[in-house]
Structure 1
């Protein structure tokens, strides 16, 4: 990859912005995050980077560690700067050097550790780079799950630093309201910008074939879940609800994703006697083809920020059932008018609503009007408004 910089000192300041950007702010945008692993936040940052670069801006993606499935998706005209470390605090000196050398107009970070490091680095560099932090989860709900001392330290540090950022972006109204309350952020310096989920590549990818024996066969109706196999995503609830669906004994459940909870979820399916009807094939490069061909898509999360997969499922025309978790699903589904909402961890309600979808939603509309809110070009416009709001 010719656009990768492993030596920060080589990341010179952009002294001559492209002609049509002269006199404009910002001309040089930095997006900072730990890595480009296969998560929703990482995918959003790559999409934004490519869109900003396509509009003519100079764009850097600065990574604590250069790894992840989305590295190959970064456009050739986006610089990738590898800080080459493994700990977020250890990355602060390197990030300071980057700010002093490259002097971007705006640095936007996402994920707690990167947000904290960005604010600290900007203060140490004493430069006038605008620091925008993006919050992708409901922090109060997430805090209840923090038991590891490391996570508690990060959360406490975030409380101390977030009010010192130039602007905070929440990915849903619920997230923005929560971060203002949880971290004492000035409401006048907080905005809501939904995730840029829908673009032409998604619309094309949803039409591709699926390489799985349960799709397009007479084996039974297929229920789909997508996400990291973790406590947050609540796939244990989904498997329990699936096992309770007596009306559809031949239905199948496919869960796309990988994570630490895989073994426990496999054991749960075995204990419930549904292992032969549950498949977890791991990470899939094109989940949209699965979404467009499933009979019901289910979001079973215990907390979220603005769940990309729910928006993607709508864009792919899938009937959806979602937990009413904090935050995002209620906003996305317009209070349940374009999809079913069930209480978090309510196995009976989830089984009932999945069954109702299978009974009634043979063909689902694509909800095109709602999906327009999450188009990449519209979301990028909103980010530029925040970047320009000094």
Structure 2
């Protein structure tokens, strides 16, 4: 099977990590695999199997994007091409129509589409949202990464349920548990006297790190804690200003992007996710793989399906008091480490990718 994964770049992000895991799996199975990127480079390129072919757009001029993509489709003649997010999903459908090729198109929703576009100020994003019911029906298959997201997509895209396939992200691999054992040089993680919380995610509004910082400000009045925030993004300066204004410089640290966050997680006492919305939540599986007790907002979608009622603690979104109190409780009531690691393995690359293998094979048979 000649298979391609298409995305903007391989910078930090859950979608990019999923593409790396999936592409590596399929090339290991003996398939001809390519990764098509609009923009060369990215932190995760080094994680790709060297047998994977990297293909870049010839031109990034807006007037040439569709032609660059169409040329790639005509030249490569993929059996199946996979992409994700509404803007690239619609772009890919149009590009395939222009190229007039037989490539099967599998598009994927990875986030709460309704909330994302409701919060978007860009006119182009609004137009993309409005085009979903028209263009998604031209895809050969649609994948949603959680049940809740699949149900939402049925309403947004006006697509029948039998065309939407719910397949969780392939987030666990044996390599994760190996990474958990790697050393980390950070004085807080070598100090057992003060519990360390950790969160991982891009510094963007959807992750609501500001809520978590406020929760730590409340909690620090009751007990001494420290928070490590791993991730990079446009809100770094704003979040640092918030930390400074609350005089929390000595207990909250913005550590930037880390290629191997699991090694950091495994040295902490608690993982916290404060997002307003998610599609799945790869970092939750990574935290489980590190054997780390989790406190997460009960946002749409993903956390409730991953954590269920026994693998972590859920709190309502946007409620700083509830988040602070639940963190305080979880620090004193950690969940069994082996139970958490066992749960993470249910989202293994090998297990999840078998569902994709079946889907792709059905499409081209």
Aligned pair partner of 2:331 in 358, 362, 367 = 358
Gaps of 5+ in 1: 1-26
Task: Count matched residues.
Answer: 363
Structural RMSD (CA):
1.6
Residue 97 of structure 1 is matched in structure 2 by 71
Deviation at 1:136, TM superposition (A): 0.6
Deviates more, 1:97-106 or 1:365-374: 365-374
Deviates more, 1:67-76 or 1:146-155: 146-155
Q: Does 1:371 align with 2:334?
A: no
Q: Does 1:384 align with 2:357?
A: yes
Deviates more, 1:121-130 or 1:230-239: 121-130
State the secondary structure of the residue aligned to 1:61.
strand
Q: Does 1:29 align with 2:10?
A: no
Q: Does 1:176 align with 2:150?
A: yes
Aligned pair partner of 1:117 in 85, 91, 115 = 91
Aligned pair partner of 2:189 in 215, 230, 236 = 215
Note if contact 1:88-1:114 (Cα within 8 Å) is conserved in structure 2: no
Residue 313 of structure 2 is matched in structure 1 by 340
Q: Does 1:195 align with 2:169?
A: yes
| TM-score (norm: length of structure 2) | 0.95
Distance 1:102 1:223 in 2: 47
Change (3 A) 1:131 1:48: same
For 1:159-170, list aligned pairs within 5 A: 159-170=133-144
Note if contact 1:229-1:262 (Cα within 8 Å) is conserved in structure 2: yes
State the secondary structure of the residue aligned to 1:327.
coil
Q: Counting helix residues as a fraction of each chain, which structure ranks higher?
A: 2
Gaps of 5+ in 2: none
For 1:1-390, list aligned pairs within 5 A: 27-86=1-60, 90-246=64-220, 248-334=222-308, 336-361=309-334, 364-390=337-363
| TM-score (norm: length of structure 1) | 0.89
Deviates more, 1:153-162 or 1:97-106: 153-162
Note if contact 1:219-1:250 (Cα within 8 Å) is conserved in structure 2: no
Distance 2:2 2:154 in 1: 28
Deviation at 1:376, TM superposition (A): 0.5
State the secondary structure of the residue aligned to 1:253.
strand
Change (3 A) 1:174 1:86: farther
Cα deviations across residues 234-278 of structure 1 (Å, max 9, x unaligned)? 100000011101465321011000011111111111222212211
Change (3 A) 1:86 1:353: farther
Deviation at 1:321, TM superposition (A): 0.3
Distance 2:64 2:151 in 1: 31
Distance 1:380 1:117 in 2: 25
Distance 1:34 1:116 in 2: 14
